[in-house]
């Protein structure tokens, strides 16, 4: 059986198609060679475990690499210091004896002594005792010992974990006097400084001195467009689909921003689900732009472990959900201020990235998924979504979307349903109402996304992919004729980027003397369909 695209557990080069991460490993090694203590904290399913396992292989000729996974420790082991110390010691010496027996040198005596203690399970083996042995072993080993702990935040709710970090920090700071690990790497969703956010208790967030030791880790863990292309080249050598590798890699990156799980999931869907259905009977037809868009639709409609994790975060942190609604539905610019816990959480969980200090949703898939969720909540309360669903068939002609008719009908229904609402409500909800009308019309057949470059509280560009054709709709608040003319110019330029000759504008005008309706405008070589509501 040949290689497959993997979305479960770490990627193995012999079994899975994967992006070459050798440059990432080289840069991480620079941290290790300097003896740094650092955390690799990224959102769920961001390739942390794959990176750690590849890093172990990359380092193991010159270092003794002890790679632990705290998820493998029974939760009961974290109940007190004695149980944890014995469990940690057992895990540690098990790896040393199994993988590095020929390299521990004079440390063999301490390893065997520690092993006997573990087997006897004494009731008074403390963290202090544990670190005493670890220090002796690190000082006597033939090569420097690197400690890697994956899923470190799975233990974060336990006081013994804080005590362990405190000891680790103390020994690391004093490593010139007391030998300890050459480098320490902790991996998880939460960085050390943010682990206290995870510790929600009845008495509030906890703080502890271990938070201030880790070196900043600023290496990009996303997959590059060139890296994705290299992975697709490997696949193409095996399957000979004739795909345009450069185009597909660009599309995948454009929609995922290199989020590892999303990259692999889209590829897996194209390979295993899109290919073979009536619309795409084989891999050759599946590995195309339309096959890619079909896979995106499948992805957005499924419940996978990543989406479930994101959904749970929105439930656990209502302030995070509110911030994302402000960002997406109202077009509010959200600027990062040092100490802002809400944005730090959004970045840490992978919802947003910071661009010049301004929050932006991390990728197009997340953005559309969030829009879908937020709109579904509002659809239950707004009649316009049900109206669009009932009228859906009239907007599709010969398999194509009649966008001009959609605009005309929207103006009519919006005026009827919302004409008497106050300006504040409409300014905050106008664009959301349009999306509520649009979504059931294209649902199951088309994709949509918001162009992040133009999403503000004044202007939003909606891009719709429907049966191989794209439609661009500019949604904006009316701010006078001059602002409208600039909008026409901007839309015309944007149409050039997409090689389109027809665009659409919907202006939400709150002037009492406004003229509601739709008209057609020729702008250079473009036709603009403009609506005012």
Cα dihedral sign, 217-221-222-225: positive
Flag whether pLDDT at 196 surpasses 80: no
Flag whether pLDDT at 202 surpasses 50: no
With tokens 């879908």, the residue in question is 372
| 245-256 helix and 364-379 helix, angle to the nearest 10 degrees | 50
In the sheet that 526-532 helps form, which strands lie side by side, from edge to edge? 446-451, 459-466, 469-477, 502-508, 526-532, 517-523
Do 145 and 258 fall within a single domain? Answer: no
Kindly give, in sequence order, each residue whose CB lies less than 8 Å from that of residue 75, ignoring residues fewer than 6 positions away.
Answer: none
Do 294 and 186 fall within a single domain? Answer: no
Structural Rg of the chain based on CA atoms: 28
Structure confidence at residue 387 (pLDDT): 94
Residue 236 within a domain: yes
Do 393 and 524 fall within a single domain? Answer: yes
Burial 175-200 (b: 16+ CB within 10 A, else e): beebbbbbbbbbbbbbbbbbbbbbbe
The mean pLDDT value for 414-437 works out to: 87
Name the band, by pLDDT with cuts 50, 70 and 90, for residue 153.
confident
- d(CA 44, CA 346) in angstroms, rounded, equals 12
Residue 359 within a domain: no
Q: Which stretch of DSSP H or E encloses residue 293? A: helix 289-301
Do 184 and 232 fall within a single domain? Answer: no
Q: Are 80 and 160 in contact (CB under 8 A)?
A: yes
Flag whether pLDDT at 66 surpasses 90: yes
- Per residue, the 3-state secondary structure of 30-49, as one string, reads HHHHCCCEEEEECCCCCCHH
Residue at a domain's end among 302, 333, 351: 302
DSSP letter assigned to residue 356: T
More confident residue, 55 or 460: 55
- CA distances to 88, 146, 194 from 82, rounded to whole Å, are 10, 24, 26
Do 195 and 249 fall within a single domain? Answer: no
User: In terms of residue numbers, what domain contains 297?
Assistant: 225-302
CATH number at residue 35: 3.40.50.300
Kindly give, in sequence order, each residue whose CB lies less than 8 Å from that of residue 21, ignoring residues fewer than 6 positions away.
Answer: 47, 50, 51, 54, 227
Q: How many residues does the chain have?
A: 533
Q: CB count, 10 Å around CB of 286?
A: 25
Flag whether pLDDT at 200 surpasses 60: no
Least confident of 57-66, 272-281, 321-330: 321-330
Structure confidence at residue 30 (pLDDT): 97
Residue 318 within a domain: no
Do 203 and 272 fall within a single domain? Answer: no
pLDDT tens readout for residues 229-241: 999 999 999 999 9
Alpha helices in 152-282 (DSSP H): 159-173, 195-198, 225-239, 245-256, 260-269
Residue 374 within a domain: no
With tokens 């060139």, the residue in question is 226
Which two tokens mark 202? Answer: 């009845």
Do 65 and 174 fall within a single domain? Answer: yes
Flag whether pLDDT at 424 surpasses 90: no
Residue at a domain's end among 212, 246, 266: 212
Do 167 and 242 fall within a single domain? Answer: no
Q: Which stretch of DSSP H or E encloses residue 61? A: none
Structure confidence at residue 209 (pLDDT): 47
Residue 6 within a domain: no
Least confident of 22-26, 266-270, 394-398, 422-426: 422-426
Per the structure, the count of domains in the chain is 3
pLDDT tens readout for residues 327-380: 888 888 899 887 777 788 899 899 999 988 899 999 999 999 999 999 998 887
CA 103 to chain centre: 40
Query: Taking all residues of the chain, what is their mean pLDDT, rounded to a whole number?
Result: 90
Residue 278 within a domain: yes
Residue at a domain's end among 183, 212, 241: 212
Structure confidence at residue 211 (pLDDT): 46
For 294, list phi and psi in degrees, rounded to 5: -65, -40
Residue 198 within a domain: yes
Do 289 and 434 fall within a single domain? Answer: no
Do 104 and 234 fall within a single domain? Answer: no
Q: Are 470 and 463 in contact (CB under 8 A)?
A: yes
Name the band, by pLDDT with cuts 50, 70 and 90, for residue 191.
low
Residue 394 within a domain: yes
More confident residue, 121 or 451: 121
- d(CA 158, CA 506) in angstroms, rounded, equals 54
Do 236 and 203 fall within a single domain? Answer: no
Do 206 and 263 fall within a single domain? Answer: no
pLDDT tens readout for residues 11-61: 999 999 999 999 999 999 999 999 999 989 899 999 999 999 999 999 999
Q: In a 10 Å sphere around its CB, with 0-12 CB exposed, 13-18 middle and 19+ buried, how is residue 61 labelled? A: exposed
DSSP letter assigned to residue 100: -
The mean pLDDT value for 114-121 works out to: 95
């Amino acid at each position: 059986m040949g290689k497959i695209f993997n979305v479960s557990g770490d990627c193995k080069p012999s079994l899975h198609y994967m992006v070459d991460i050798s440059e990432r490993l080289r840069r991480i090694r620079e941290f290790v060679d300097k003896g740094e203590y650092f955390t690799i904290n990224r959102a769920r399913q961001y390739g942390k475990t794959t990176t750690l396992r590849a890093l172990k292989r990359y380092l193991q000729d010159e270092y003794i690499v002890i790679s632990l996974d705290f998820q493998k420790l029974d939760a009961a082991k974290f109940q007190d210091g004695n149980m944890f110390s014995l469990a940690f010691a057992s895990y540690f010496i098990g790896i040393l004896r199994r993988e590095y027996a020929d390299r521990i040198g004079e440390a063999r005596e301490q390893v065997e002594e520690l092993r006997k203690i573990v087997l006897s399970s004494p009731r008074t083996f403390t963290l202090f005792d544990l670190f005493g042995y670890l220090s002796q072993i690190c000082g006597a080993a033939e090569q420097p010992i690197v400690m890697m702990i994956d899923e470190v935040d799975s233990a974060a709710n336990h006081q013994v974990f804080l005590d362990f970090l405190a000891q680790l920090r103390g020994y690391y700071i004093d490593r010139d006097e007391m030998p300890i690990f050459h480098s320490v790497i902790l991996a998880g969703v939460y960085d050390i400084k943010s682990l206290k956010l995870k510790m929600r208790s009845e008495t509030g967030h906890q703080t502890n001195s271990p938070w201030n030791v880790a070196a900043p880790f600023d290496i990009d863990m996303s997959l590059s467009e060139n890296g994705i292309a290299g992975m697709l080249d490997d696949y193409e050598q095996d399957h000979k689909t004739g795909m345009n590798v450069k185009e597909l890699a660009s599309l995948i990156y454009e929609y995922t921003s290199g989020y590892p799980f999303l990259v692999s999931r889209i590829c897996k869907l194209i390979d295993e689900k899109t290919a073979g259905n009536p619309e795409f009977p084989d891999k050759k037809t599946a590995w195309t732009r339309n096959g890619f868009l079909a896979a995106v639709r499948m992805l957005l409609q499924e419940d996978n472990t990543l989406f479930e994790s994101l959904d749970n975060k929105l439930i656990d942190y209502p302030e995070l959900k509110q911030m994302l609604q402000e960002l997406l539905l109202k077009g509010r610019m959200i600027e990062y201020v040092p100490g802002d816990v809400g944005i730090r959480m959004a970045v840490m969980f992978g919802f947003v990235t910071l661009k010049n200090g301004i929050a932006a949703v991390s990728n197009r898939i997340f953005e559309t998924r969030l829009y879908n969720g937020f709109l579904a909540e509002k659809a239950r309360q707004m009649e316009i979504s049900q109206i669009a669903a009932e009228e859906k068939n009239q907007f599709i002609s010969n398999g194509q979307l009649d966008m001009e008719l959609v605009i005309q009908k929207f103006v009519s229904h919006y005026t009827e349903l919302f004409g008497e609402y106050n300006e504040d409500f409409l300014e905050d909800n106008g664009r959301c109402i349009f999306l509520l009308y649009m979504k059931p019309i294209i649902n199951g057949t088309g994709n949509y996304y918001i162009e992040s470059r133009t999403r503000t509280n004044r202007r939003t560009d909606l891009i719709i992919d429907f049966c191989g054709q794209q439609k661009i709709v500019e949604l904006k608040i009316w701010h006078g004729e001059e602002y409208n003319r600039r909008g026409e110019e901007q839309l015309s330029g944007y149409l050039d980027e997409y090689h389109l000759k027809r665009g659409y504008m919907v202006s939400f005008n709150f002037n009492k003397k406004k003229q509601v309706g739709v008209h057609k405008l020729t702008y250079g070589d473009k036709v603009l369909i403009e609506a005012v509501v």
